[in-house]
Chain A
Amino acid sequence: MTVKIITDSLGDIPPGIAEELGITVIPINVIFGNINYRDGVDLTTEQFYDKLAASKVFPTTIVPSLGRYADAYDQVAEETGDIIVITNSHKLSASYETAVLARERMKKKCRVEVIDSLSAIMAQGLIVMAAARAAKDGARLDKILEGVRNNIPRAHIRMAFGTLEYLRRGGRIGKAKTFLGMVLKVSPILGIRDGEIYPFAREHSRARAIDYLYEFADGFTGIEGIGVEDVTTPGEAEELARRLQARFLGETIYRSRVGPAVGAHVGPRVLGVAVLGDRDQP
């Protein structure tokens, strides 16, 4: 029986890939004023960012109910007896907690393993995609679980930010608060480390920040996936993806867009590169 993979929409799996690899994605809700939107369902990413730019209200995000997770499990359990749920970092959202508790609400009998990716956006996505590929190739549950655990410390992400204001307001800024209040206009480069937002570098212009992202990816070997994603600057992302493609000729460079639930917390102009692989330098 094929193992099935479930994840939340915070992993920014590129369009079409979820269907191709048979991944079930649970949408995370975005709340604007009093209206609840399901990430990627009720609101396209474009509509969301138009709204974010126009609205004075600050959106919030909410992990769907236990019931919604349990329903997703039950639905997938129609096809399989083995499910792996890979969630967003528990330090960034309540997805992991909810995913664990939802197992008790299931109606069907099915083995459900829940793993915290300790990550987010495409770094989470690449872990999920690798697991789904293994599942599709017929790997058994325990083997896939082991693969996911090995991949968690191998999934890295760096993001060039336009502003840290959204992160600060949303309360997810973590240790990157060191970068708040800079007198000079610089582009902060943040990433995720130990499941939370971490400050890595600062560049004095946007162009240099993008070079940093390129050089970051350049420093990997044993690559099993590269993703490039933007919030509102697809042109920059395309260009960076082209440069990376020229560097990593045999690899697929996945292109995605940061979903609204994360976008609400990072703000526009975030450009990210995620790599699943081994870093040359520590």
Chain B
Amino acid sequence: MAEANSISGKDLQEMFTAATGWLEKSAADVDALNVFPVPDGDTGTNMLLTMRSSIEDAYQVANNSVSAVAQAIARGALIGARGNSGVILSQIWNGLAQGLDEKETMTGADLVQGLLLASRTAYNGLSNPVEGTILTVIREAAEAAEKHASEVSNDLISVMEATVEAARESVANTPTLLPVLKECGVVDAGGQGLYTILEGALHYLKGETEQLKLRRPWMVASSIPLTTRAPQMVGAEDEVPYGYCTNFVIKGAELDPEKLRRRLEKKGLSVIVIGDDSAVRVHIHTLDPGDIMHYVNHLGTLHQINIRNMDEQYRDFLEMQKERMPEVDTAIVAVVVGEGLSQVFTSLGTTIIVPGGQTMNPSTKDLLQAVEAVPSEKVIILPNNKNIVLTAEQVPALTEKKIHVVPTRTVPQGVAALLAFDYEADLETNTVSMYQAHLEVKSIEVTRAVRATRLGGLDIKKNQAIGFLDGDLVAVADKPEEVLNEVLERVEPDKAEVVTIYYGADTKPAEAEQAAASIRERYSQLQVEVVQGGQPHYNYIASVE
């Protein structure tokens, strides 16, 4: 089946069979991804069973037109749909069938048409479409197919390649759209399933049958890392699973899917109702499945009833998630203020951030709570401020957990310590190497004088910019940038490698960039990085390594 500009109904059957086989190989991995809208935990299996039902119907068609086969696929998917994503998948094939209506064969242009309608039908089928799911993936894939066909080539394989590539990018991007995915560090399971199906279809179109046999689909990795939540968010109710995932089909006469959906939306969440006046498929998450069954029983006959407890699935899911992350048994609690700085610390692997810093010192209790909240028996605390080191050192005596404090007195020291964290090493080894690393960095802090004074041989007027080097006041000037430069001159910048400048909430990005540019100009060997720290009080915090 290589090198074709259009395919027949028979080819479409086989393409779906190949795609289903491809999905089958990774169905278990897709199951493991599932978190949305509450963890059903079986998205891959549901999509696979939906696809199988499609194929069964597809092979009952005697007619060799793509139109007839696509309609059979859509019908099979509707009747066989399971779970949230299975139902949405059936809507997608329904749209595809509409796009291929009355077509004998499918060309690249027909595929584009089918995908666009698939996307539209999928969105229309839901009362509350959510981005960052399979919906986004089908939409972005369809848009990419359309763009490719009009701007590059409308050759069938070429269009399919563009579709698959766009689907992959879209899947990788789902965590940026859907916070629950970001928190779990996974991509959307339904999106991954759809991508895999499309990729399987592409392999078939390209005649790559041996690979379909031998290789396995790759799981798309999230484009953003796993982030850990702040302590106050632990146990937030938006993710607590509830009740039963309830699925069934009603067969009867004069059914009204619209009306039924409106009714069911009052009785549960994640409601999906699709079908026509003779058969309707329902998916709902509810606390009382009995009430739902009782309500729909009079509408017609019930088929394929499937009710599962989601709490059990959720527990299994959490267990599985644990296994998927690096087996780090040491957690890190850091005291940080400023959105940018918090991001820096989180992205470097801080488990919990306790907000605080200059003039906002957290209490021993605040730190203790954070230490107790982390899912680990061993914790390293980074106080990141000289006024907090002592507070942090009170914590080990107050908890059963094993706590080490690396006495970081500045933000740059905290970052240097964090970078030295070794994922392989134990608590003791890490404490030693982080301690060593925090000594090896020079910290510059630039702020404004709150009153006039004379200190360290410097005459300081109120509101002038003052600069500290490792906690010692060493420079004063009218502009913060002047002070930054003056302090930098004291640390032999011609021998340093990296300068990182974190600019504060009151500093304009352009000013920070200009300061960095002037440093680069004077010291061409320096790698100067500018990061929005967002910290209050300090115009600049900089590290020199």
Contact = CB atoms under 8 A, between A and B. Distances in A.
A205 B420 CA distance: 12
B477 interface: no
Interface residues of B, number: 44
A160 B215 CA distance: 29
B218 A177 contact: no
B325 interface: yes
Contacts of A62: 211, 215
Nearest to B226: A178
Given A178-B226, A178-B325, A204-B498, A186 B419 contact: yes
Nearest to A167: B221
B221 A208 contact: no
B216 A184 contact: no
A198 interface: yes
Contacts of A281: 425, 429
A16 interface: no
A201 B344 CA distance: 16
Interface string A44-70: 000000000000001000110110000
Nearest to B186: A177
A172, A180, A281, most chain B CB atoms within 10 A: A180
A178 B500 CA distance: 22
B178 interface: no
B154 interface: no
A264 B223 CA distance: 18
B200 to A, nearest CB: 15
Contacts of A181: 223-225, 347
A204 B224 CA distance: 20
A183 B218 contact: no
A205 B545 contact: yes
B459 interface: no
Given A200-B424, A201-B422, A180 B214 contact: no
Interface string B217-238: 0111111111000000000000
Given A65-B210, A205-B497, A208-B497, A184 B424 contact: no
B527 interface: yes
B419 A203 contact: yes
Interface in A154-195: 168-173, 175, 177-186
Contacts of B290: none
A25 B482 CA distance: 61
Interface residues on chain A, size class: 35 or more
A223 to B, nearest CB: 20
B172 interface: yes
Contacts of B348: 182, 184, 202
Contacts of A97: 214
Nearest to B416: A204
B456 interface: no
A173 B498 CA distance: 27
Contact of B225 (A170, A180, A204): A180
A185 B223 contact: no
Interface string B407-442: 000000001100111111100010000000000000
B101 interface: no
Given A65-B210, A94-B214, A184-B529, A175 B326 contact: yes
A175 B415 CA distance: 22
Interface string B315-330: 0000000001110000
Contact of A180 (B211, B215, B223, B500): B223
A184 B423 contact: no
A170 B545 CA distance: 34
A98 B215 CA distance: 9
B225 A168 contact: no
B215 A204 contact: no
Given A170-B218, A202-B348, A202-B419, A183 B224 contact: no
A260 interface: no
B345 to A, nearest CB: 9
A207 interface: yes
A281 B430 CA distance: 13
Given A170-B218, A200-B424, A180 B224 contact: yes
A33 to B, nearest CB: 9
A199 interface: yes
Contacts of B220: 171
Contacts of B349: 178
Interface in B178-219: 185, 210-211, 214-216, 218-219
Contact of B222 (A180, A198, A203): A180
Nearest to B346: A183
Contacts of B424: 200
A199 B225 contact: no
Given A62-B211, A65-B210, A208-B497, A177 B344 contact: no
Given A184-B500, A202-B419, A171 B221 contact: yes
B497 A201 contact: no
B344 A183 contact: yes
A183 B340 contact: yes
B135 to A, nearest CB: 23
B214 A66 contact: yes
B343 interface: yes
Contact of B326 (A178, A180, A205): A178
A94 B212 CA distance: 12
Given A183-B340, A200-B423, A177 B226 contact: yes
B531 interface: yes
Contact of A184 (B168, B415, B429): B415
A177 B214 contact: no
Contacts of B225: 177-182
A77 B485 CA distance: 71
Interface string B332-349: 000000001001100111
A183 B347 contact: yes
Contacts of A199: 326, 423
Contacts of A205: 497-498, 527, 545
Nearest to B348: A182
Interface of B: 165, 168, 172, 185, 210-211, 214-216, 218-226, 324-326, 340, 343-344, 347-349, 415-416, 419-425, 429, 497-498, 500, 527, 529, 531, 545
Given A168-B172, A172-B218, 16 more contacts: A58-B165, A97-B214, A169-B172, A173-B221, A179-B225, A180-B223, A181-B223, A183-B347, A184-B344, A184-B347, A184-B415, A200-B424, A201-B422, A202-B419, A205-B527, A207-B497
Interface of A: 58, 62-63, 65-66, 94, 97-98, 101, 168-173, 175, 177-186, 198-205, 207-208, 281
**7 A-B pairs closest in CB distance:** A171-B218, A181-B225, A180-B225, A181-B224, A183-B344, A175-B326, A182-B347
24 contacts: A63-B215, A94-B214, A94-B216, A97-B214, A101-B214, A171-B221, A172-B218, A173-B221, A175-B324, A177-B226, A180-B224, A180-B225, A181-B225, A182-B347, A183-B343, A183-B531, A184-B415, A184-B500, A198-B423, A199-B326, A203-B419, A205-B497, A207-B497, A281-B429
